Amino acid sequence: MAGQVIVTKNRNVPLDKIRNIGIIAHIDAGKTTTTERILYYTGKSYKIGDIDEGTTQMDWMPQEKERGITITAAATTTFWKGLRINIIDTPGHVDFTAEVERSLRVLDGGVTVLDAEEGVQSQSETVWHQADKYNVPRICFINKMDKLGADFHRTVGMIKSRLGANPAIMTLPIGKEHSFTGVIDLLTQKSLIWGSDELGAEYDIKDEIPDDMKQDVTEYRHKLIEQICEQDDSLLEKYLEGKEPTLAELKKVLRKATIAYKLVPIYCGTSLRNKGVQPLLDAIVDYLPSPLDVPSIRGVNPKTKAGEIRKNNADDPFSGLAFKVQLDPHVGKLTYIRVYSGKLSSGSYTYNPAHGNQERIGRILLMHANQREDVNEAYAGEIVAIVGFKDTGTGDTVCDQAHPILLEQISFPEPVISLAIEPKTKIDQEKMGMALQRLTEEDPTFKVKSNPETGQTIIWGMGELHLDVLVDRMKREFKVAANVGAPQVAYKETIKAKAQGEGKYIRQTGGRGQYGHCLLRVEPKNRGEGFEFEDAIKGAAIPNEFIPSVEKGVKEALDKGVLAGYILTDIKVTLYDGSYHDVDSSDIAFKIAGSMALQSAVKQAGLILLEPIMKVEVTTPDEFMGTIIGDLSSKRAQILGTEKRGTVTIIIAMVPLSELSGYATTIRSLSQGRSSYYMEPSHYEEVPKNITEKIVAAKV
């Protein structure tokens, strides 16, 4: 299947007939199921994929099929009512947050899928705010209306209160839970009923509205029209005069308001039961932006540093952003590109301003999950995969060399957990290096470091599941057999006060000696601000050519840590004085002096350990609430509050990651398997003194 070639319909459609959208949501809200229905109803696939049976097209990796989760963002292209829709189905699990981050960076619109019973969950909030960061217009699909406890109006209330959005209810559900049969389109006042066709491709459109819903329909329709008219002065004037705007006028203004993120259209249905997906498709076409509706991309000229703009058309010079690297067993390295302006041709060259080199475009592929179609050209507004790029990585700009531009990079969160990995045999050792290099190219939140003292290789990631999947991929894709240690928490070191330190490195060995001498000042920075180096040398106390060597020595010392061997962070280092020798001074001497000075300074600056704190949400029946809160309190948790949701209670807490090892098993045994939890990284906080002493003692 992986090698299968596909053919799409005419892809040379005008830009206003293209939609680049992402399906985003909390884990288990039904993103992949919704995407599978979209592919079936648009004629892209001839049968509906099922997650439980492992037959989905978008979840194509063996690990995805086995675990029933999305791990990698899959791209596909389909057509609806003459429009071309490029869809990216993103993961819901927080461990794969990089996939969501990079997808949102290149998308024009998003569909947020929510669970009608659970409402707005934690990860829904996280991805919503990620979309806010990139100003992505959204529509909401309240899924699982057939689920026990489904509550459409409560979920809409949560969209308002938790996400701060302005929801515009477009459809009302007919029935709920097992009696959910369809929706009422408020603009046309028609009932859409599913049931005659089991697969949901056919549905009945009726003019009559159920008697028990007539009052609700009148009330909500009146409110919707009011919301739309408020977005346009001429429409509001007409409405206040008692004239109802036409359907075309209402749709036009609603489209404008959705793109400006002033309104968020709300739809409902049940993807698994094949109801309500077609109105969502119509909404994607009617209200989400085309590449022409989003502002032209801005960047800077790498040579002049002046701001530049590229218009979304094929006539402007080529510019694009590489947002994902994927290893394909059949064609090698694939680099996914969002083309913002101009066009690309296979066989031509493109320029990477970050590395200052040219890259040859071997092939251009249109992707459908892990199937592909060769095309000769890619145009502005398209998302394609390139074969042939060697050095271009995630977040790199590619452009026309004659008209260089550097687009804003994609920022990714820091990894919070690590584990030691070692190859089982000498053959595995050679293969492991290559496998790790390939995987770090693919995943910006996966880091690899080797410990020269122990000879161990340490891999870092966003969570236990993340590292588990990567080790599994090494075994399957690269045939590397490895022994894996227990997951370790990614502690960090920092300082609490200002201090100064001196580093003097003098060696006489008969011939030419070594001489390096510097004085540094260290001061703490705010949490999360990282490292800053300032050169404050006056009067050439240290020649300019040796200053980068001091900085290099400082960085190496920061990486090794001073207190317990963890990375030193959130620190400003100022080089303010020193001395040199005309003959004996060298780069290596100043590098060692820089490292010595930093260690001397931080030892006097109140060294402390920082640990990652996780935001944890436990969903539990009321009878286990006291037990679970008691257990969390024993784990140094700070309980932020509880929230009632139907028959269950949500406990929200901040808990140190080091206390959460094996928590999935703990929570099952505390609640007879009836509670579940979700966690995501929140921030770093100081480790209590008694625990710091234990960690330091264990490291010595």
Cα–Cα dist 200/40, whole Å: 10
Q: Is 30 annotated as a binding residue?
A: yes
Q: Is 89 annotated as a binding residue?
A: yes
Among 326, 324, 396, smallest CA distance to 359 is for 396
Q: Is 25 annotated as a binding residue?
A: yes
Place of tokens 């011939």: 511
Cα–Cα dist 165/156, whole Å: 10
Do residues 651 and 642 lie in contact, with contact meaning Cβ atoms separated by under 8 Å? Answer: yes
Q: Is 504 annotated as a binding residue?
A: no
Q: Is 59 annotated as a binding residue?
A: no
What is the identity of the amino acid at 499?
A
The residues pairing with 520 across neighbouring beta strands, listed in sequence order, are 501, 575
Cα–Cα dist 624/674, whole Å: 9
Do residues 319 and 397 lie in contact, with contact meaning Cβ atoms separated by under 8 Å? Answer: yes
Helix axes of 464-477 and 426-442: crossing angle, nearest 10 degrees: 120
* Helix, strand, coil percentages, rounded to 5, for the chain: 30, 35, 35
Q: Is 93 annotated as a binding residue?
A: yes
Residue 238 gets which letter from DSSP?
Answer: H
Q: State the burial class of residue 411 (Cβ atoms within 10 Å of its Cβ: 0-12, 13-18, 19+).
A: exposed
The residues pairing with 267 across neighbouring beta strands, listed in sequence order, are 141
Count of H helices and E strands in the chain? 16, 38
Q: State the burial class of residue 478 (Cβ atoms within 10 Å of its Cβ: 0-12, 13-18, 19+).
A: middle
Q: Is 160 annotated as a binding residue?
A: no
Residues with Cβ within 8 Å of 529's Cβ and at least 6 positions away in sequence, in order, are 570
End-to-end CA distance of the chain: 53
What distances in angstroms separate CA 314 from CA 14, 377, 381, 564, one per listed residue?
A: 11, 11, 9, 55
Q: Is 90 annotated as a binding residue?
A: yes
Among 650, 682, 628, smallest CA distance to 118 is for 650
Q: Is 26 annotated as a binding residue?
A: yes
Cα–Cα dist 95/71, whole Å: 9
Do residues 334 and 326 lie in contact, with contact meaning Cβ atoms separated by under 8 Å? Answer: yes
Do residues 53 and 47 lie in contact, with contact meaning Cβ atoms separated by under 8 Å? Answer: no
Q: Is 56 annotated as a binding residue?
A: no
Phi, psi angles (nearest 5°) of residue 331: -115, 0
Q: Is 332 annotated as a binding residue?
A: no
Q: Is 129 annotated as a binding residue?
A: no
Count of CB atoms within 10 A of residue 657's CB?
A: 22
Q: Is 222 annotated as a binding residue?
A: no
**Cα R_g (the chain), whole angstroms:** 28
* DSSP code per residue over 85-128: EEEEE---SGGGHHHHHHHHHH-SEEEEEEETTTBS-HHHHHHH
Beta strand 138-143 with 264-268 is parallel
Cα–Cα dist 360/365, whole Å: 14
Annotated binding-site positions: 25-32, 89-93, 143-146
Annotated binding-site positions for GTP: 25-32, 89-93, 143-146
